[in-house]
Structure 1
Amino acid sequence: MTDSVTDRFLRYVVIDTQSDARSPTQPSTAKQLTLGRLLVEELLAIGITDAHLDEHGYVYATIPANSGKNNVPVICLCAHMDTAPDFSGTNVKPQVIRNYQGGDIALPGNPQRIIRTSEHPELKNQIGNDIITSDGTTLLGADDKAGLAEIVTAAEILMNNPDIKHGAIRILFTPDEEIARGVEKVDLKKLGADFGYTLDGETAGTVEDETFSADSVEISITGVAIHPGFAFGRMENAIRIAGAIVDRLPKHMAPETTQGKQGFIHPTEISGAMEKASISLIIRDFTEAGLVSKEETLEAILRDVLQSYPGSRYKFTVSQQYRNMKLVLDKHPQVVENALEAVRRAGMAPVRGSIRGGTDGSRLSFMGLPCPNIFAGGHAFHSPLEWVSSQDMEKAVDTVIELAKLWEEQA
């Protein structure tokens, strides 16, 4: 290898690639294309001749087959280029703590932000490893630039080692995953893969075959505006109505009070003026019935609040984001079993898990490309406390290599 996975990762995270849900374009932010162009350059440099960035911001590339077998399934390796809008991704300053010896990690850019071992128990498994964090003023971007670095590094190993036999492997790097639009314009015919794997998970050794199902809800409220000096008995302030709705949301259905297989109702944005206000929410559950129930609960709260405001009206719009990929993956058990076996061959005890979130694999699975999720090694995603270890990223590279070998052996 000319570059380690860490070299690549550190190169990628300093490029700001935050997506923007309010933007109507694809990709939602032009700055994602900067990283896309760099990835194409690096893929071409390692000998992948068809690497390119398309008009929608997708990077496509092919690691050619070198097996004498003609029936090896074509697998796709996928990671996303954008980082979450939840926290700043501008001017990322990564720090590498070499040979970590335990204890809390203070972030130099903001001394009040500390990665505490009590809150990050996986740190106890990182003694002697190299830990990468931000300086505490931005997120790090391990979600999912760790996945990008791992795939490119694995691609270089496969291109440089013809003794490792494998079928054709398609590479797909996507924009806008964090705003649930990551695969809207993917050309599956052009991709030409039979099965896929996202590298977008957390703890080393984990393979995830289940995600939340997800909807978004937009609530628009139209109140009754009038001069406040003449408002008695007449004004219906849309801001107050919106505040009352948010205040009535069930506390036991919030992200901060749920875990495991429990879903939630989560307000993500509120804005408005006296006459009009809007609330954006996301609804998450592992079942379709759970989504519907939570949406019915939400609209019932809305109707109940509006009873006190007879002159006001509302609009309630539900949009599907993605669905639990387990419904598809259960019909293709070998795809997940091979990922678990690849983890074993890479020297780890595999853990089969569920994601309290989604990946591009959720959408891809329902589009016809069964696509579980493999760990990328990052932790504390979407926050300034995000971290990843170099050694866990190397384990992900090893897992990808073993996965490629495994599909070839089974053909």
Structure 2
Amino acid sequence: MTKTLVDYFVSLVKIDSESKNEKEIALKLAEDLKNLGGEVRFDDANKKTGGNVGNLYAYFPGNIAKEPILFCAHLDTVIPGNGVNPQILEDRITSDGTTILGADDKSGIAQIIWAIKELKNTKTAPIEVLFTISEEIGLLGAKYLDYSMIKSKIGFALDTHKVGAVVIGAPFQNSMKFTIHGKEAHAGSSPEYGVNAIKIAAEAISKMPSGRIDNETTCNIGLISGGDATNIVPNKVVIEAESRSHDKKKLMEISNKMKNAVLSAVQNYKLGDFSASVEVEIEEEYQAFRVDENAEIVKLGQNAAQKMDLNSYTIIGGGGSDVNIFNQNGLQMVIVGTGMDAVHTVKEFIKINELKAGAEWVRNAILLYSEI
């Protein structure tokens, strides 16, 4: 391993690891974890995700008799994440502006491993490390994780912004896909024999809720595709959307409003014996979670930050992460910050002092947990 945390982080972001292509970085990290004394294994989640490697797990037995605690981050990055050329500036690390940096989530990976490295000769409780695959494309690694590997009951995922932040809640999410079927015809010679699927979609979208619905609920129409040429009345359009809420009842209400807007629009388009139709697909992507502010894992996260004189605070998040799936499967987990900023953009960066603070936070969390 490299001599400094910054060098180690930089070495990780140079490895291509867009979703479903995490094998190279996973094998490197597996070797690093083994060299630190970890018992390493992979599951076969990739057989279901279509990726080239499974979730990476490591167990450090420690030497204090106590249940283990889990630290998690994800291996994959969003696009464009290949060929990252990191730039070490005076106070931060960036990409060269042509790709993302990959601090989401390689800062979390580096911080976890660096903290374990620093504690290699220190008495600690058992530690579990999990690096998941395909988080960025639907939390797939967490969804298909072999949960029989995990012995911890509580843990942290390092996958948000400010070091010291503890995310204790996140919403439900539904994904929606509406495939509208009209009738094609020549747009110039016989448009009256066609039923325009794009026009149906436009009417449906005009009736759909969108944006922030209330302080717990959001809805977004994200994708629309259809049509083959300007001289053809389009016979098919696909609308893709999502809804999120911290309240399951509100989630269902907003999802039903989206569906009913399409069903209502379709009913208005008939031509002789032909009636427009729609295929409706609504899928629950993940369930909400909410961890009590007084839970042991929350207090541990805050105390680890306060030990560094960092301001620590709890957040109810608006996005989904592996932690939604972990809590759904019986683990009590929260999300903590690494210092990553401007994620999912080519302007992504991490301040060097935040990168170091995140590693110190992990170290403190392990030591404090070992003392409890």
- How does the TM-score come out when normalised to structure 2? 0.88
For residues 364 and 43 of structure 2, the distance between their equivalents in structure 1, rounded to whole angstroms, comes to 30
Paired residues of 1:36 and 1:53 also in contact (CA < 8 A): no
Structure 1's 244 and 374: CA in aligned 2 closer, same or farther, altered over 3 A? same
Paired amino acid for 2:31: E
1:172 paired with 2:130, answer: yes
Question: What is the one-letter code of the residue matched to 1:175?
Answer: I
Q: CA deviation at 1:53?
A: 3.1
- Letter matched to residue 52 of structure 1: R
Give 1:150's aligned residue: 111
SS at match of 1:406: helix
The answer on whether the counterparts of 1:342 and 1:402 sit within 8 Å (CA) in structure 2 is yes
1:377 aligned to 335, 339, 344, which one? Answer: 339
Q: Conserved in 2, the CA contact under 8 Å of 1:5 and 1:390?
A: no
Report Cα offsets for 1:59-104 as digits up to 9, x if no partner: 010122122xx2x2211100001123xx422222221211xxxxxx
| Cα gap change, 1:265 to 1:259, in 2 (>3 Å) | closer
SS at match of 2:283: strand
Structure 2 residue aligned with 1:364:
326
Corresponding position: 1:292 with 2:252: yes
One of 88, 101, 122 as aligned partner of 1:140: 101
Counting only pairs closer than 5 Å after superposition, residues 8-87 of structure 1 correspond to structure 2 as 8-19=8-19, 29=20, 31-48=21-38, 50-56=39-45, 57-67=54-64, 70=65, 72-84=66-78, 87=79
Q: Secondary structure at the match of 1:182?
A: helix
Q: 1:135 to 1:260 in 2, by over 3 A?
A: farther
Shift of the 154–315 alpha-carbon distance from structure 1 to 2, 3 Å rule, reads same
Which of 224, 230, 236 lines up with 1:270 in the alignment?
Answer: 224
Query: TM-score by structure 1 length?
Result: 0.80
Equivalence for 1:197: 156
Equivalent pair of 2:185/2:191 in contact (CA under 8 Å): no
Map residues 168-317 of structure 1 onto 2, 5 A cutoff: 168-180=126-138, 181-250=140-209, 253-254=210-211, 258=212, 261-273=215-227, 274-310=234-270, 311-317=275-281
Q: Using a 3 Å threshold, how does the CA distance of structure 1 residues 47 and 219 change in structure 2: closer, same or farther?
A: same
Partner-residue secondary structure (3-state), 1:152: helix
User: What is residue 348 of structure 2 aligned with on the other side?
Assistant: 386
- Partner residue of 2:82 out of 78, 85, 90: 90
Q: How far is 1:259 from its partner?
A: 10
- TM-fit CA distance, 1:305: 2.4
Question: Equivalents in 1 of 2:191, 2:2: separation in Å?
Answer: 74
CA distance in 2 between partners of 1:190 and 1:65 (Å): 17
233 and 317 in structure 1: CA distance in 2 versus 1, 3 angstrom threshold: same
Aligned residues: 353
**Residues 22-69 of structure 1, C-alpha deviation per residue, up to 9 Å, x if partnerless?**
xxxxxxx2x212211111122123332x223333210010122122xx
Q: CA deviation at 1:9?
A: 1.8
Residue by residue, what CA displacement relative to the aligned partner does 1:153-177 show, whole Å, maximum 9, x if unpaired? 1121122x32xx3211100000111
Answer 1 or 2: which has greater strand percent: 2
Give the Cα separation in 1 of the matches to 2:215 and 2:110.
31
Determine if contact 1:9/1:145 at 8 Å carries over to the other structure. Answer: yes
- Give, as a single letter, the amino acid of the residue that structure 1 aligns with 2:259: E
Letter in 2 for 1:79: A
CA–CA separation in structure 2 for the residues paired with 1:386 and 1:94 = 11
| Corresponding position of 1:105 | none
Asked if the contact 1:53/1:60 (under 8 Å) is kept, the reply is yes
1:385 deviates by 2.0
Q: CA deviation at 1:248?
A: 4.5
Post-superposition shift, 1:243?
4.1
Q: Give the superposition deviation at 1:404.
A: 1.3
Contact 2:74-2:135 within 8 A present in 1 as well = yes
* Equivalent-residue separation in structure 2 for 1:365 and 1:332 (angstroms): 17
Amino acid at match of 1:65: G
CA distance in 2, matches of 1:46, 1:278: 50
Q: Alpha carbons of 1:308 and 1:15: their partners in 2 closer, same or farther (altered >3 Å)?
A: farther
Q: 1:366 to 1:331 in 2, by over 3 A?
A: farther
Percentage of matched positions with identical amino acids: 28
SS of 1:15's partner is coil
Superposition deviation, residue 271 in structure 1:
2.2
82, 86, 92: which one aligns with 1:131: 92
Amino acid at match of 1:264: T
Per-residue CA deviations over 1:112-141 (Å, capped at 9, x if unaligned) read: xxxxxxxxxxxxxxxxxx211222222221
Residue 4 of structure 1 deviates from its aligned partner by: 2.6
AA aligned to 1:221 is I
Instruction: Give 1:300's aligned amino acid.
Output: N
Amino acid at match of 1:59: L
Distance 1:8 1:243 in 2: 50
Cα distance, 1:260 vs. partner?
9.2
